[in-house]
Amino acid sequence: MLTRKQHQLLLYIDDHLRRTGYSPSFDEMKDALELRSKSGIHRLISALEERGFLRRHHHRARALEVLRLPHMGTEAPVAALASETGFVPAVLSQGETGLDGAFSEASVANDRQTVSIPLYGRIAAGLPIEAMQDDSDRIEVPISLLGTGEHYALTVAGDSMIEAGILDGDIAIIRRRETAENGQIIVALIDGQEVTLKKLRRRGSMIALEAANRDYETRIFPAERVNIQGRLIALFRQY
C-alpha cells in the first residue's frame, strides 16, 4: 500500500506528464505537496521506484516515467509479473474502453475517454514485412492506456512472439521512440525497408532481434542497419 504522500506525488507526476510531456522539477513537486525540503521528495520517489510505480532515468534531467498507478486490487509489483521480455501484455478485448482495476480512482473517470491513433497495417512477428504507412485506418484507444508521447498501432502477423503472449492477429500498440533498452519488445526497421516486432538485445556494435518462439532463430545485424521505430506498450485482442 502507498502512503498518502506517495499516492499524492504519483498522481501529481502522472498529471504533469500528461499535461506537459515532461516530469515536474523537484521544486515543483515540493511545492505541490507542501513539503519543506526536496529531500522529502527524494525519499518519496525512491519509495515509489522500489514499489514498481515509478522509474527514474538517471542519465536524463527531469526524466520520470510512471509505470502504473495505484491498483484498485492487488498491488503486485510490475517486476514480479514481467517475463524476461520486460513486457506484460495489457490486453483489451475489442470494444472495451479500459483495463479493469488497472488505474487509481483519480483516473477511472478517464478510462472511457479514447483517442484515435493510426493503424498502419500488418507487422511480421515471423518474417519481416513492410508496414503500410496509411493514416486512413485508425483505432480508438483509451487515453489512460497510452501515457505521454506519440503512438500508433500495427496488426501482428505470425507466431514468432507467442511465448511473450503476442498472437497472430493481435493489434500492437506502439509508443513511437528511437531508443529502447535491452529486453524490450520493439518495432525494428531493417535496412530501411523491412519491419518486424522483436525483442531487442545489444551486443557491442551489433543488434540482435530475438523471437519469443524457439522455432525461430535470432537475427543479428550491425547497429547501423537497424532503426528503432517504437516500443510495444499494449495489445488489443478480439475474441
> Which residues are designated catalytic?
160, 198
Phi, psi of 65 (to 5 degrees): -125, 125
Distance CA 92, CA 15 (A): 23
CA distances from 198 to 74, 99, 118, 131, 145 (A): 30, 25, 21, 14, 21
Distance CA 86, CA 134 (A): 30
Q: Which residues contact 112 (CB under 8 A, 6 or more apart)?
A: 97, 98, 142
C-alpha cell at position 130: 513492410
Handedness of CA 103, 104, 110, 112 (dihedral sign): positive
Q: Which residue has the cell 495489445?
A: 235
H-helix or E-strand spanning residue 18: helix 4-20
125, 157 Cβ separation under 8 angstroms = yes
Beta bridge partners of residue 115, listed in sequence order: 141
